[in-house]
Chain A
Amino acid sequence: MIKLHNVSKSFSQFQAIKSVFLTIDQGEIHGIIGASGAGKSTLLRHMNLLEIPDEGEVEVNGQKLTSLSSKELRQARKSIGMIFQHFNLVANKTVYENVAVSLEITNFPKKERKNRVLECLQFVGLESSLEKYPAQLSGGQKQRVGIARALANKPQVLLCDEPTSSLDPNTTAEILGVLENINKSLGVTIVIVSHEMEVIKSICNRVTVMEAGEIYDTVLIEPTSIQIIDNSPRYYVEQLTKGGGMDDA
């Protein structure tokens, strides 16, 4: 469970988050949507204290993050995974090493590390690319590595900042499928920031709409399930040339 209680945040003079109250339930897939600059990323980044609120409290997995020591906070972050629009992988580490590093950081038992890394990479379908470097991967594969890395420490919460915004529609659907699977089979609470309505509609149970640093509304939705969109070149041509009605008589 994630609880934001009266959270406010300013950057110099500019108030990016204005006394936000938000509760996200255990097991939910929660969307955050809104225009560019509305404060979606900033709000998400409060959920693992990448941003420290000027005011208010943040509680995740029953722990009040805002009152932890820095050591306790690092400990708490193990149970809060995060993935990013630009993946943020270590370019000089292989796929295997990128996942393994998150276990090194948390002192995961040495003997079990290898198994855990392989297990996570298998889960995202990348077990055959262990020795590749990020530069050799497609965007979708990079995001899978990001997901495997975030899952390694068995988090209870997964924070996703525009996880599919640099991917094509088909790859987007695949990644959303992986996220849905994580939620269903591992019971991980997921928060997804996106400005793409389709993404939000396809997998979220509840959506928070933001405007200018405030919550405009939080609505319950029925996920429409993920549409695997045909991304064959033929489909693109068809969509592009489909009559715009200009010459309809």
Chain B
Amino acid sequence: MPELLVQYETEIWTSIGETFVMVGVSILAAILIGLPVGTFLFLCRKGQVLENQFVFSILNLLVNIIRSFPFLLLVVFLIPFTRLVLGTAIGTAAATVPLSIIAIAHYSRLVEQSLLEVPKGVIEAAISMGASIQDIIFKFLYVEARSGFVLGLTTSIISFISYSTIMGVVGGGGIGDFAIRYGYQQFKTELMIYMIIIMVILVQLIQFFGTTVSRMIDKR
């Protein structure tokens, strides 16, 4: 193993751990909140079963606003909110707050898009059978859109990893922060390259896994 990696082993593992925490929390937020928000975005659209112009416009606007913020500015902008929620705006835990918020906005949009690809006729068939809203969501929409959900989540996770690299600004740490502090600022270019290689491998693995799973569950 290259000498530099051995020398910084502890720090590297710590930074990988921080990245996993930040990305892990983002994934949870995406699934637990982004999925329902995306579902509502879809269901409240014109012509859908919960058509509601008001709710749709509000959700749509919120998602758009969050997504149009340059991420670095969103992080800074959310500092007071993070402090309110966690008591501090510094550290890995604090970094998960803006990350989760962008994760929710990002994934809900992809969920909405996947649901829009479900043929309208399938929903009509469900209604004609006497399906409730719950049935329509869980027995029809999610079944038909599931491979899109997985692909969307894969894309999202890769974006979350990218977003997480700038969390050094609020002391969030992570692989990206390590690469900048040691590799870039201390002119250890070699170290920076190793970090980039780790990121590339990580992204490749995630993409491979996501594509495989989505293909396996797609019977269309």
Contacts and interface: CB of A to CB of B under 8 A. Distances in A.
Nearest to A70: B132
Interface size of A as a range: 20 to 34
B139 A92 contact: no
Interface string A55-79: 0000000000000000000111110
Contact of A74 (B125, B132, B139): B132
Contacts of B127: 50, 77
B130 A77 contact: yes
A48 interface: yes
Contacts of A77: 127-130
Contact of B139 (A82, A84, A105, A149): A105
A84 B124 contact: yes
Contacts of A87: 121
A29 B139 CA distance: 32
A75 B132 CA distance: 10
A93 B218 CA distance: 10
Contact of B219 (A106, A135, A146): A135
Interface of B: 119, 121-122, 124-132, 135, 139-140, 143-144, 146-147, 217-220
18 contacts: A76-B130, A77-B127, A78-B129, A81-B128, A82-B125, A82-B128, A84-B121, A86-B121, A88-B119, A88-B124, A92-B218, A92-B219, A101-B140, A104-B135, A105-B129, A105-B135, A133-B219, A159-B128
Closest 5 CB pairs of A and B: A88-B121, A77-B130, A88-B125, A82-B128, A91-B220
